[in-house]
Structure 1
Amino acid sequence: MRVLKTWMYAGAGGLALATMLAGTSASAQAVTTPAADSAQTAEAPAGEDIVVTGSRIRRNPLDQPSPVVTVDAESIQRTGLSSVADVLQRLPSAAGGLNSKVNNSGNIGNPPDGGGVGAGSAEIDLRYLTAKRTLVLVDGLRFVNGASASGIPSTVDLNTIQVGSIERIEILQSGQSPLYGSDALAGVVNIITKSQQKGLKASAQFGTFRQGDGHTQDYNVSYGIQAPRTSVVFGGSYVKQEAVRTGDRSISQFPNPGQTSCSDVIGGCSGATPNGFFQVGGQNLTLKSGPIAGRPRYDAANPTGPNSDFKAFTSADRFNFAPFNYFLTPSERYGFFVSAKQELTDAVNLRVKLNYTRRNSQNQAAFLPLVLGPDAGNGNLLDTISIDATNPYNPFGYTLSAGGAGNGPANYSTVRRRLVEAGQRTYSQTVDTMSATATLDGSFNIGARKFYWDVNAVLGFNDAKQLFTGNINAANLARALGPVANCTGACVPFNIFGGVGSVTPEMLGYIAFDERARSSQSLEDYTANISGDLFDLPAGPVGIAAGYEHRVQYGSFTPDPLITAGLGADIPAQPARGHFNSDEVYAELRVPLIHDTPLIKSLEVGGAVRHSNYSISGSNTTYTGSGLWKPFSDLLLRASYAQGFRAPSIGELFGAESRSDASIDDPCTNVAGSPFQTSPTVRTNCIANGVPANGSYQEPNGGQLGVLTGGNKALKPETSRTWLFGAVYAPSWARTSGIASQLSIEGNYYDIKVDDAIAATDATLTLSRCAEAADALSCAAITRTPNGLISRINAQLQNIGGIRTRGVDVTAVYRSPRTSAGTFGLSLNGNILLKYAESFPATVGFTTTNYQGTTRGSPEQSYPKFKGNAVVDWDIGLMRASFTGRYIKSVKEADGKRLDNTFYGDVQLTLAPGWLENRLGLTIGVNNVFNQDPPACYSCTGPNYDPTTYDVPGQFGYIRLSWGL
């Protein structure tokens, strides 16, 4: 009997695909595998074909037309991780994505993708094409997209899927829009949940970093009931992950790696300081000391002299915000799941599944930087506030005018004050997610032919609320800084000049408010599928599958009314909402051509077509074709071509205008070593773009520039094409000779091109093209104040030129025969990135950038030329031990700085006493046993490293007790 066994073995974080061909029969091994095209479980008897991810036709799993990696529940447990996303992001073919190491919140704004920050959520990104181009299914069906009260994301939040409910995860590492519809450009992640179980399974785990922080509790329990015609599985989970703070790691003590003070020439610290930064009368001033409860002294004749409380502002006065953030964000998740199957007749089954998850998470930032004035660049009322001469704390003796109608010309640039008295900014999310599915499935015969059918309904919703503490009501602030005669009733005059401690609780009580935002998404998805064999050819039966899908999606984002009115001091936002529906039909065909002839053990071709009609994006038809050739039993060769299609998401179409504060440098700033000083061309182009010719402009914001984001209703769908060539070699001689019980080598080459990709032009590229080449489109996207400061960079979503990525996935697996010393295994899994390039339109042609071997920091993403995992394991029955090595090749930043090669080592040991029939297990493990720090990154917006690629610094140890192994 020939069988194909495909599974993932992971020791303490490593993942490896093991593929084995054995025996001589062409029939498939008896397995239990959920269908990839429905919630159905294909409980196939021996010799019957099954459904595998990557095809909707039941087939021998030997004839897999696409590369699929499978991660089972045991493999997830062997990582010691509590999040599905953290496990999947360690795959070499994965590119990261949002996870618990990302502390993005409103403090850096909403990225220009229409989806919002996604604070506290987690994603999976395959092939560096971003998470929105990886389709996530649960039991072969779509799952409701996540929301984190900051926008309308187009991705599934993997933190809403409980680890304890998962049986396995199948990752299709190839685009398959013709089979699965929109979003499957990079691949498909199919999460298969438990559908049957006997008795109790439970686990309790506690983990912590060696530094004594980041404590994690993880509890899972499930119980299964089996009856002759009924099976039920139900359970729940609870995960609590505590924070790791940037102040507790050496790499993140300052805004730049290795920095020891804000006076360091590298810069990066903020000009919004507790004692204030006042750009008034052509001078840059700050308080000599504070607090000053009354009016500070100001000597107009000698502003920094002995009769003045002010001194000249220097870089040493800047504020170090770096220690006040999270390295690992706190999160609490709990929920329950139920899966039930009832055999209505011998040929018809009813399946019902329900999943609910509550997530409480938090992000944190330093104290609010309150910035007022015509050069502030807030884009709201704060840019127009004048500080009246009658304000009892105004030391200058005249009104600081922001200009505008009725105010005369502006006579000050900015007033900056770090509002320490309000405490740190915190963003707390509460997210509820519910998904319910119902399936009728069965089979019928037409003559000797057996056909399988299923109809499915999915209903899901995701509702998120966010509370932001530490914001300011700009209207109340304007009144508190304005004419004192108008500050009546609850109004309390505000002391913005008195330094840290000068803001009283009464002042703060009048201007502060708690910001509340909400977002929600819902999904209705109805599908029907049928598959079977049409007729026989000499080489085998011709298989067919066909189906229909009707989908309705709705999303909305509702910011706080004060934010909508433009009265906040943090990131501005506007409400957004939208919906769409789609109708799609597909068909797939598999045709065996030759069987059992010289040099052709088997040869088959296949293909699929899908027609989609979207209410907001029009119609589209995509195709795929594949070929499988086995010259002999031990070698499988595959090739495929697939077209891809991704309709614009709700957030991309209807996302409202907002702002992202990107940590990038303005090449037009006049500081030592800047292009403005070193390049006459840059100087000329910058002056033409609005920078003062006298060289007075110096970027004041510590590297954060406002990027205007927003959706675009004129977007058209993305399209793609994917070429894939692969081979699997599993020598039977290695098994028959007793050298190995498993031995296989697999390699797959992929080439993906995305056209009309939906994205915003990179802000760094916009600045450089304007400064270096005077590109008209780029310069038009930059808005500067009269003093040269950037008030905004336009980064509205558009259909850019395209994306191209090429690479090779390689896998090798060895497992020894069982001996008196147990069994030993070695598995290797790697990705070689040959190219990743993005093209953006310019005034003439396109600008193409190849990111292979580089890293970029806004948002963070590294593109190493090679990533690989290696797992060595030993199983002696009562004890299992493993060591996993994870290697990431070095990358370079834009300025040439190198992020060195990185190697992580993870170890795990599990003991299972024989006297309890191996049902009780005690596991101990250490991730990052060599205490490897992530490479320091100067361009990253996070805490000086790329959290999508590297681990939090420190050794993480854990202990777990399990029942029902």
Structure 2
Amino acid sequence: MKPLRRQSLAKAIQLSLLISLPGLAAAQDAAPAAPAQSATTLDTVTVTGTRIKQTNAVTAQPVFVLDRAKLEKTGVQSVGEVLQQLTAGGKALNAKFNSSGNFGYPPDGGGIGAGSAQVDLRNLGSQRVLVLVDGIRWVNESSASGVSGSADVNTIPLAIVERIEVLEDGASAIYGSDAIAGVVNIITRKKFDGAEIHGYFGQWDRGGDTTEASLTLGGSGERWSAVFSASYFEQKEISSGKWKQSSEPVPGAGLAAGSSGVPQGRFTFCDPSRPVTGVGGCDAAGDNWYDITLNNGTTVPVFDPNNPNGGTYHGFSGADRFNFAPFNLLLTPSKRKALFTSINYDLTENTRLHVKALYNNRTSTNQAAPEPIFVGPFAGTGGIADTVIVHANNPYNPFGITLDPATNFGWITKRPIEVGPRIFHQDVDTTYFNIGLDGVFDIGERGFGWDANYVHSENKAEQTFLNGYNVAKIKLALGDPTVCAAVPGCVPLDLFGGQGRPMTQAMIDWIRTRQIDSSKQVLDLFSANITGDLFDIGDRAAGFAAGVEHRRYRGEFNPDPLRQSGESQDSFAAPVSASYDVSEVYTEFNFPVLSTLDLTAAIRYSDYSTFGGATTGKAGFRWQPIEDLVFRGTYSQGFRAPNLGELYGLTQFGASLVDPCGPTGGGGPAPQYVAGCNAQGVPPGFEQANTQITTFTGGNPNLEPEESDSYTFGVVYSPGWAEDLSWSSKLDFELNYYHHEIEGAIQARDLQALLNACLAGGGTNPAVCSPFSRAASGNLNPPNNFLSNLGSVETDGVDIKVNWASPDWSWGRLTANLQSTFVNDYKAVDIDGNVSQRKVGVEVSDSAIPEWQTNLQLGWTKGDLDLSWNVRYISAVEEDCGNSVFAGPKPGCLNPQNVNTLGSVTYHDVQFGWKNALTVDGLKLSVGANNIFGKEPPVCVTCSLNGYDAGTYDLPGSFWYVSADYRF
């Protein structure tokens, strides 16, 4: 393809980006490298967001590039951690989420994703971000708990990454489904001569050692090039018990509420033989029922039916709740081993064969407090546990009566810490194979580039769950002892002795079980693309790209048989085995209608086997009125096809619901809920038994795709007056406005908002109250909450970027790069008209949308020495203290607004590097620290695990590291 003349602004901007973002000028190029040209020409390249090769460094769509040098200066060793520091990012799963065993399965059918790392853009969710590797889709993760619609970006080792391009715009017309919020394109190393050994060690203040090592080999000849990489990554755990916020019941944190599943046991029942007016009588309202727990230090329980606080028992209160956090993890352990190879071979002068292959294995672990046993109808599982009868003849039953759910039994909760914590081990294999051809050809004077690819990729996972229980065996062991005795291995179960009389090994062996879940996702992809020049408009050529793609998705989820039968104490889950196909065709155009104005357009048609066809379009412009200034804008139609988990999954989710009719800890309903609570028959003085309400969730095969409209408008200014001055060699400004609107968003209802609306509206309106019913005690029964095209989401904001570099002064060269994102608005509304509590500046559901996020990189370079100082800023957010399950006084909440302010946070990261260190050519040594001042995350009173938002903030404390790279 003939080289095009370089424009003045393109040259200025490109030089700017070569300093601040060196990878941009080397963006992926499907064609073989052309011979070196004169200084006045520039070869065409492909930049993420368009498949048309071009010379403009500033395209119509905003693209942020992190080259390898920038990646190294972050001080982290995983793709996930890098991407989650983007100012345009939102909450996404990472190693700080110790998710297994605490939440159950989320409603989207994607599973828990334990051990994976995902990327979110614009706070629209990781399922609305398309992850590419070298411009081709990456397989979604499975993690043995579902069929997810999100990719695990840590399946791509950092050692093979040349750079990461982030398209901050919708791009369904270019790439198809999922590219609503943006696209992350990870470009791998394709040409490398020599060998490179890399070693890294880092540690948090509280432990959590991180070790990484890699070996990269490469070579090239006249017609070939090859790269091979082997890498190893290990991150050790940090126990929640090592942080005071988690290890102690800190007032004000959500953890202070603890759990009603306590080691001493909680017993809620009545005695039908006693008068209704007396304590323990079975009145319909449940006012006289016992709600008691065993005194600490008790070895032989003694029950006094005339006095709940007599004998060895006392009335259960919030002070008795169990602080589960010390058993959890602040940082989950993970090991990753990867092999990668990339081979390119010129078959002819104009045709090249390319082959890429990757194998990545990840083993990771989640840990949770010993599994509590909940039996009786108040457990609200909707399964076997609700039907358990505790027989009067059970030799350990101190109450002398049979506890029957039909008449006098609320529940027994018991957390047998003698069994040990719940352990979830994940073993995940990711394989990727790509083979294809690419090349160039000419028709007349016009040049064209083409490529064709076949990709097979697979993510296969197995999770082993230890120290869980078989609830069917629990039921048998608590029932009639004669029936138990007739079953081999069955022994009567003691839930009544507390810590003073722990369960025997025989009891544990009878009810304890190992559970194994597995899942797999497979993506097979065929694609072919062509790009080139159509005709000339004036002295410039109109460019085009076109292509076809066929994809086949297959997903499987095989939960342990105990989960499928409902016998698992942990969570119910149904198997999934499904597939679908999609065939697509697209075309894209770039028309230079004026010497200063380019117009772009794209259209894509997709045909899905699940729902039919969808057409999306995109249009944009790039206007350069003067050499130093570019205006640009895009309008994009987008869609996201429902994934396999959303279509077919069926699971349980432990939703945290604060019942306005009787919050945990007492206090009674607020005035606006009184009438609704009365209409639902909630007894006076009712107190919610448990805030974690089992919810049946799952997919819907009738789902339609989400549809979106997105537009951006931006300006890039690279003033010529700031070049080659005594204080500046270059200066760039970039300002971009974005707006996304999604209709038919696939989601389950916001149960908390729906429950609040139901009760505030009188408690009987079927439009908002249909998911809710109550037991005679007043406790909520498990609601159903299946997916549908329920919602609309709208968000907009502004990105600001500034890049500056000094001239080469005698004492060194300075650089400064700023990225800042301002979120103007975020609003989600469901089909019932309920507005989500998730808004700008609000912390809710373990996530926040800060109004401002800013990253600033300052650098100094002198010869072989360099020093960087990175500053990361997150603005303050507020949370509604009414969403906290803790009913007592909460510091920070004692104000008329009943809100807690999570103050702004600034992290400081520093790194010192030395090239050719110790007079050894090719050796680079680096030492650094992230969060060098040890800033701790703000206390969150509504967050569910460690009392802070792990999706928004860093781990507490500093992280220091050293690394060495030797290239030869």
Is the shorter-chain TM-score for this pair beyond 0.5, marking a shared fold?
yes
Query: Given the alignment of the two structures, is residue 756 of structure 1 paired with residue 744 of structure 2, yes or no?
Result: yes
Name the aligned partner's letter for residue 431 of structure 1.
V
Query: Given the alignment of the two structures, is residue 447 of structure 1 paired with residue 444 of structure 2, yes or no?
Result: yes
Query: Given the alignment of the two structures, is residue 666 of structure 1 paired with residue 659 of structure 2, yes or no?
Result: yes
1:45-84 pair list within 5 angstroms: 45-46=36-37, 47-84=42-79
Give secondary structure in 1 for the equivalent of 2:378: coil
Instruction: Please tell me whether the aligned partners of residues 255 and 321 of structure 1 are also in contact (alpha carbons under 8 angstroms).
Output: no
| Residue of structure 2 equivalent to 1:286 | 293
Q: For 1:169 and 1:318, how far apart are their aligned partners in 2?
A: 47
Q: For 1:690 and 1:44, how far apart are their aligned partners in 2?
A: 82
| Residue of structure 1 equivalent to 2:790 | 800
| Residue of structure 1 equivalent to 2:88 | 93
| Residue of structure 2 equivalent to 1:26 | none
Aligned partner of 2:955 among 930, 949, 952: 952
4+ residue runs over 6 A deviation: 5-9
Give secondary structure in 1 for the equivalent of 2:594: strand
Q: For 2:262 and 2:32, how far apart are their aligned partners in 1?
A: 61
| Residue of structure 1 equivalent to 2:167 | 172
| Residue of structure 1 equivalent to 2:851 | 865
Instruction: Please tell me whether the aligned partners of residues 441 and 455 of structure 1 are also in contact (alpha carbons under 8 angstroms).
Output: yes
Name the aligned partner's letter for residue 861 of structure 2.
D
Give secondary structure in 1 for the equivalent of 2:303: coil
Aligned partner of 1:316 among 315, 319, 340: 319
| Residue of structure 2 equivalent to 1:12 | none
Give secondary structure in 2 for the equivalent of 1:164: helix
Q: For 1:493 and 1:6, how far apart are their aligned partners in 2?
A: 77
| Residue of structure 1 equivalent to 2:566 | 566
Q: For 1:388 and 1:16, how far apart are their aligned partners in 2?
A: 77
Q: Offset of 1:884 from its aligned partner?
A: 0.8
Q: For 2:140 and 2:785, how far apart are their aligned partners in 1?
A: 24
Q: Given the superposition, is the C-alpha separation of residues 379 and 430 from structure 1 closer, same or farther in structure 2, using an over 3 Å criterion?
A: same
| Residue of structure 2 equivalent to 1:641 | 635
Give secondary structure in 2 for the equivalent of 1:766: helix
Name the aligned partner's letter for residue 498 of structure 1.
G
Query: Given the alignment of the two structures, is residue 272 of structure 1 paired with residue 267 of structure 2, yes or no?
Result: no
Q: For 2:436 and 2:399, how far apart are their aligned partners in 1?
A: 74
Q: Given the superposition, is the C-alpha separation of residues 30 and 718 from structure 1 closer, same or farther in structure 2, using an over 3 Å criterion?
A: closer
Instruction: Please tell me whether the aligned partners of residues 33 and 41 of structure 1 are also in contact (alpha carbons under 8 angstroms).
Output: no
Q: Given the superposition, is the C-alpha separation of residues 302 and 682 from structure 1 closer, same or farther in structure 2, using an over 3 Å criterion?
A: closer
1:506-905 pair list within 5 angstroms: 506-595=506-595, 602-656=596-650, 658-669=651-662, 674=667, 676-679=668-671, 681-692=672-683, 695-701=684-690, 703-774=691-762, 776-842=766-832, 845=833, 847=835, 851-857=839-845, 860-895=846-881, 896-905=899-908
Q: Deviations over 1:851-871 (max 9, x none)?
A: 0111112xx211111110111
Q: Offset of 1:670 from its aligned partner?
A: 5.6
Give secondary structure in 2 for the equivalent of 1:953: coil
Give secondary structure in 2 for the equivalent of 1:778: helix
Q: For 1:918 and 1:651, how far apart are their aligned partners in 2?
A: 52
Name the aligned partner's letter for residue 130 of structure 1.
G
Instruction: Please tell me whether the aligned partners of residues 495 and 503 of structure 2 are also in contact (alpha carbons under 8 angstroms).
Output: yes
Give secondary structure in 1 for the equivalent of 2:815: strand
Q: Offset of 1:5 from its aligned partner?
A: 7.8
Q: For 1:468 and 1:609, how far apart are their aligned partners in 2?
A: 47
Name the aligned partner's letter for residue 364 of structure 2.
S
Q: Deviations over 1:731-785 (max 9, x none)?
A: 1121143432221000000111001011112222122211223453331112322
Give secondary structure in 2 for the equivalent of 1:627: strand
Q: Offset of 1:677 from its aligned partner?
A: 3.7
Give secondary structure in 2 for the equivalent of 1:933: coil
Query: Given the alignment of the two structures, is residue 230 of structure 1 paired with residue 224 of structure 2, yes or no?
Result: yes
Q: For 1:217 and 1:318, how far apart are their aligned partners in 2?
A: 38
Give secondary structure in 2 for the equivalent of 1:503: coil
Aligned partner of 1:240 among 220, 228, 234: 234
Q: Offset of 1:267 from its aligned partner?
A: 5.4
Q: Offset of 1:288 from its aligned partner?
A: 2.3
Aligned partner of 1:150 among 145, 168, 172: 145
Length-normalised TM-score, structure 1: 0.92
Q: Deviations over 1:400-454 (max 9, x none)?
A: 1122xxxxxx211000100212100111100000000011011111111111111
Query: Given the alignment of the two structures, is residue 492 of structure 1 paired with residue 478 of structure 2, yes or no?
Result: no
Instruction: Please tell me whether the aligned partners of residues 252 and 941 of structure 2 are also in contact (alpha carbons under 8 angstroms).
Output: no
Instruction: Please tell me whether the aligned partners of residues 691 and 788 of structure 1 are also in contact (alpha carbons under 8 angstroms).
Output: yes
Q: Given the superposition, is the C-alpha separation of residues 947 and 848 from structure 1 closer, same or farther in structure 2, using an over 3 Å criterion?
A: closer
Q: For 2:665 and 2:475, how far apart are their aligned partners in 1?
A: 37
| Residue of structure 2 equivalent to 1:298 | 303
Instruction: Please tell me whether the aligned partners of residues 31 and 43 of structure 1 are also in contact (alpha carbons under 8 angstroms).
Output: no
Q: For 1:314 and 1:737, how far apart are their aligned partners in 2?
A: 72
Q: Given the superposition, is the C-alpha separation of residues 156 and 958 from structure 1 closer, same or farther in structure 2, using an over 3 Å criterion?
A: same
Instruction: Please tell me whether the aligned partners of residues 521 and 556 of structure 1 are also in contact (alpha carbons under 8 angstroms).
Output: yes
Aligned partner of 1:425 among 422, 425, 431: 422
Q: Given the superposition, is the C-alpha separation of residues 497 and 43 from structure 1 closer, same or farther in structure 2, using an over 3 Å criterion?
A: farther
| Residue of structure 1 equivalent to 2:890 | none
Name the aligned partner's letter for residue 783 of structure 1.
S
Give secondary structure in 1 for the equivalent of 2:362: strand
Name the aligned partner's letter for residue 297 of structure 1.
V
Q: Deviations over 1:671-717 (max 9, x none)?
A: 6785x4430x301112223422xx2421122x323233211111100
Give secondary structure in 1 for the equivalent of 2:386: helix
Q: Deviations over 1:463-496 (max 9, x none)?
A: 1000111111111111111111112221111111
| Residue of structure 2 equivalent to 1:599 | none
Q: For 1:220 and 1:796, how far apart are their aligned partners in 2?
A: 45
Q: Given the superposition, is the C-alpha separation of residues 310 and 108 from structure 1 closer, same or farther in structure 2, using an over 3 Å criterion?
A: same
Instruction: Please tell me whether the aligned partners of residues 325 and 945 of structure 2 are also in contact (alpha carbons under 8 angstroms).
Output: no
Give secondary structure in 2 for the equivalent of 1:800: strand
Q: Offset of 1:50 from its aligned partner?
A: 1.4
CA RMSD of aligned residues (A): 2.2
Name the aligned partner's letter for residue 481 of structure 1.
L
Q: Deviations over 1:838-880 (max 9, x none)?
A: 01122xx5546560111112xx211111110111110012211
Give secondary structure in 1 for the equivalent of 2:57: helix
Q: Given the superposition, is the C-alpha separation of residues 532 and 74 from structure 1 closer, same or farther in structure 2, using an over 3 Å criterion?
A: same
Q: Offset of 1:31 from its aligned partner?
A: 5.0
Q: For 1:778 and 1:591, how far apart are their aligned partners in 2?
A: 52
Q: Deviations over 1:218-260 (max 9, x none)?
A: 112101011111111001111110111111112223566556x
Q: Deviations over 1:94-151 (max 9, x none)?
A: 1130011111113311111110110000000000000000000001001111111111
Q: For 1:542 and 1:159, how far apart are their aligned partners in 2?
A: 39
Q: For 2:945 and 2:511, how far apart are their aligned partners in 1?
A: 30
Query: Given the alignment of the two structures, is residue 396 of structure 1 paired with residue 394 of structure 2, yes or no?
Result: no
Q: For 1:391 and 1:912, how far apart are their aligned partners in 2?
A: 74
Q: For 1:254 and 1:30, how far apart are their aligned partners in 2?
A: 49
Q: For 1:590 and 1:203, how far apart are their aligned partners in 2?
A: 43
Name the aligned partner's letter for residue 483 of structure 1.
D
| Residue of structure 2 equivalent to 1:963 | 966
Length-normalised TM-score, structure 2: 0.92
| Residue of structure 1 equivalent to 2:120 | 125
| Residue of structure 2 equivalent to 1:926 | 929
Instruction: Please tell me whether the aligned partners of residues 624 and 643 of structure 1 are also in contact (alpha carbons under 8 angstroms).
Output: yes
Q: Given the superposition, is the C-alpha separation of residues 5 and 463 from structure 1 closer, same or farther in structure 2, using an over 3 Å criterion?
A: farther
Name the aligned partner's letter for residue 723 of structure 2.
R
Q: Offset of 1:311 from its aligned partner?
A: 2.7
- Any gaps of 5 or more consecutive residues in structure 2? 1-5, 271-288, 882-898
Q: Offset of 1:553 from its aligned partner?
A: 0.4
Name the aligned partner's letter for residue 898 of structure 1.
T
| Residue of structure 1 equivalent to 2:895 | none
Instruction: Please tell me whether the aligned partners of residues 663 and 940 of structure 1 are also in contact (alpha carbons under 8 angstroms).
Output: no
Q: Given the superposition, is the C-alpha separation of residues 917 and 540 from structure 1 closer, same or farther in structure 2, using an over 3 Å criterion?
A: farther
Q: Given the superposition, is the C-alpha separation of residues 470 and 559 from structure 1 closer, same or farther in structure 2, using an over 3 Å criterion?
A: same
Instruction: Please tell me whether the aligned partners of residues 565 and 572 of structure 2 are also in contact (alpha carbons under 8 angstroms).
Output: no
| Residue of structure 1 equivalent to 2:373 | 370
Q: For 2:663 and 2:59, how far apart are their aligned partners in 1?
A: 60
